[in-house]
């Protein structure tokens, strides 16, 4: 990963798929920063960088990595920047990096819907390529309990609108976000939302109680019951079995996942379901507790 020097005193985050990209920070923190499960930007005030600061960062990055072909605009929800500022950033990146082929960023449903279809098309023409958005769950009750601050219908519409404008959507869901109490509702509603979205990329991660988050405190206090290892694999099986996706690359190979999986929909759906059912039948999964959790995410 190539990082610009303007990385501040707090960690910089990017999706696994952007490991080879030049990471260019244009905002600090996340404009929402209320999700109970997320500790990425805790204690980091949201701040949009000035035009002059962004121009200087682009200039310095281009001098150090003139051959960069891919850029990721960090941090959380850079899509919230105005369409005018995003146009300026993309234009100057294109001028400074002659080999540039694509630019990607994190987005929320609300920040996508704040742009008109014409604005989204213009951004695509300037090489904006992939928007990474966390659906997390298709169940409104779960999202409300986790203080997500985004409505399922809005996220569905945002995905549909962005892809209609030529942008590629990468959607993330969190296995176990409903705990033991709402696992069934989580699986059913999440599959329904994804079927409506038809994202080009789909990633399934397992919810992990990160120290310092509200979710971790709720787990410690017994207010949230983590899904068992067996229940998590069963939940993913139920989601995959209900997916009717026409052209989606699927991955569940994050360090948090119990069973690494990947495939393409629709052709690999039955294979994925079969692999999950084999894992459920093998008898090795913990039916009482969540099993080993990753030491890092």
- Tens digits of residue pLDDT in 183-193: 999 999 999 99
Distance CA(26)–CA(7), nearest Å, equals 10
**Bridge-partner residues for 265, per DSSP?**
248
pLDDT, mean over the chain: 93
Model pLDDT, residue 5: 44
Model pLDDT, residue 273: 99
Mean pLDDT (whole number) for 243-253: 97
Model pLDDT, residue 44: 85
Mean pLDDT (whole number) for 110-126: 98
Mean pLDDT (whole number) for 155-172: 99
Q: pTM of the entire structure?
A: 0.94
**Bridge-partner residues for 128, per DSSP?**
103
Tokens of 120: 């989204």
Model pLDDT, residue 9: 64
Q: How confident is the model at residue 292 (pLDDT cuts 50, 70, 90)?
A: confident
Least confident of 70-79, 102-111, 286-295: 286-295
The conformation of residue 228, written as its DSSP 8-state character, comes to P
pLDDT above 70: percentage of residues in the chain: 95
Model pLDDT, residue 1: 43
Q: Do domains 1-106 and 132-297 have the same CATH topology?
A: yes
Match domain 132-297 to its CATH number in 3.10.20.30, 2.40.30.110, 3.40.50.800, 3.30.750.200: 3.30.750.200
Comparing CA positions, the residue from 86, 83, 112 lying closest to residue 24 is 86
**b/e sequence 158-174, b meaning 16+ C-beta within 10 Å:** bbbbbbebebbbbbbbb
Mean pLDDT (whole number) for 212-217: 93
Mean pLDDT (whole number) for 200-204: 98
Model pLDDT, residue 2: 52
| pLDDT score of 4 more than 60 | no
**Structure confidence by residue, pLDDT tens digits, 35-58:** 988 877 787 888 999 999 999 999
| pLDDT score of 31 more than 90 | no
Model pLDDT, residue 8: 54
Q: Which fold has domain 1-106?
A: Transcription Regulator spoIIAA (3.30.750)
Q: Residues 6 or more apart from 202 whose CB is under 8 A from it? A: 170, 171, 172, 173, 194, 245, 248, 249, 250, 251, 265
Tokens of 187: 């699986």
Listed by start position, the domains of the chain span: 1-106, 132-297
Model pLDDT, residue 244: 99
Mean pLDDT (whole number) for 106-134: 98
């Amino acid at each position: 990963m190539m990082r610009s020097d303007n990385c501040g005193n707090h960690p910089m985050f990017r999706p696994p798929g952007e490991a080879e990209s030049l990471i260019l920070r244009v905002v600090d923190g996340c404009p929402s920063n209320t999700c109970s499960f997320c500790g990425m930007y805790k204690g980091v005030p949201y701040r949009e960088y000035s035009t002059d600061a962004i121009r200087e960062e682009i200039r310095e990055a281009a001098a150090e990595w003139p051959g960069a072909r891919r850029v990721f605009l960090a941090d959380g929800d850079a899509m919230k920047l105005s369409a005018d500022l995003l146009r300026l950033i993309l234009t100057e990146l294109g001028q400074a990096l002659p080999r540039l082929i694509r630019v990607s960023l994190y987005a929320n449903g609300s920040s996508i819907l704040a742009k008109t279809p014409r604005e989204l098309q213009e951004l695509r023409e300037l090489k904006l390529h992939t928007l990474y958005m966390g659906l997390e769950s298709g169940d409104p009750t779960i999202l409300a309990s986790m203080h997500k601050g985004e409505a399922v219908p809005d996220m569905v519409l945002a995905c549909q609108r962005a892809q209609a404008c030529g942008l590629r959507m990468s959607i993330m869901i969190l296995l176990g976000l409903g705990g033991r109490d709402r696992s069934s509702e989580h699986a059913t509603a999440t599959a329904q939302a994804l079927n409506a979205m038809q994202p080009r990329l789909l990633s399934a991660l397992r919810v992990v109680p990160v120290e310092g988050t509200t979710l971790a405190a709720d787990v410690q206090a017994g207010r949230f019951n983590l899904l068992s290892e067996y229940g998590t694999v069963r939940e993913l099986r139920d989601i995959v079995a209900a997916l009717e996706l026409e052209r989606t690359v699927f991955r569940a190979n994050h360090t948090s996942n119990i069973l690494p999986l990947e495939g393409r929909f629709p052709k690999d759906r039955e294979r994925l379901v079969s692999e999950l059912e084999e894992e459920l039948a093998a008898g090795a999964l913990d039916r009482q507790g969540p099993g080993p959790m990753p030491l890092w995410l």
